[in-house]
Chain A
């Protein structure tokens, strides 16, 4: 009987190993490589934010506990492992190569899913394309990537960890940013 139990437990272990190895092997990293050394030279303005888990904890520690917006942000980033943002602004159109953006898209395979692909024009007639990707691992959101491209601006956002898209989106209107700045959404009932 003891021998039989041993055989069964060994078999379960072997099956678990066989099943888990391909899963681990196919798991896509949440953090992407957002490295464009050439673009920094061409851009008139560059924003480069790289906050790993420990820096996020440090930053969250300096958020106000009295300011409601900062309390919301602290809640939003509590379980995150990193936030990486690259924003390039250019004086002229066509300064960045679409192939650079394609290099980012190429990393978004496997567990990454594109959930939004918006091609729009703002009031000034400038095209604004936004792609949002979520990394879904066993039903849990483990990462988010935003690729926002305009003729004179390229923005890449990579959030590592469980992120609440609804809460993130709801933060616009804070920090002095007028809500709906980048588009006019006619709302039937005036709600969001």
Chain B
């Protein structure tokens, strides 16, 4: 057998075995869905398992919510303390002003009484 014949024999058309096409299609479909599933969460799908990423995200949201809540409570407490202090100062200021104006008024009334 010469070389030409050997090549013809090697490169001859051969039909695929039965079910070959179906098996290939099934395999492609499986690999494709596995890739989508891995890529569907976060930018580092292969570094962090999905449940860890979910936990971290939930913890982060919880921490931010807790921080905001604490900040708001502190702010309200600060405003309340400032308001109570301002109220006390106002009462003190009005008391002093009232005392002094009444002192003047009393003196004026006393003088006008003595003049009668």
In angstroms, Cα B112 to Cα A29, docked, is 33
In angstroms, Cα B82 to Cα A183, docked, is 36
A residues near B82, Cβ cutoff 8 Å: 58
- 8 Å CB contact of B86 from A51, A116, A180: A51
Q: Is the CB of A175 within 8 A of B109?
A: no
Tell me the count of chain B residues lying within 8 A, CB to CB, of chain A.
Answer: 30
Q: Is the CB of B90 within 8 A of A83?
A: yes
In angstroms, Cα B76 to Cα A191, docked, is 46
In angstroms, Cα B100 to Cα A182, docked, is 9
**Separation in Å of the B14 CB from the closest CB of chain A?**
92
If A85-B96, A157-B96, A186-B110 touch, whether A60 touches B105 (CB-CB below 8 Å) is no
If A120-B107, A187-B109, A188-B113 touch, whether A148 touches B92 (CB-CB below 8 Å) is no
Tell me the count of chain A residues lying within 8 A, CB to CB, of chain B.
Answer: 47
Q: Is the CB of A118 within 8 A of B107?
A: yes
Besides A120-B103, A168-B94, 7 other A-B contacts (C-beta < 8 A): A51-B90, A55-B89, A76-B94, A157-B96, A169-B102, A169-B105, A174-B95
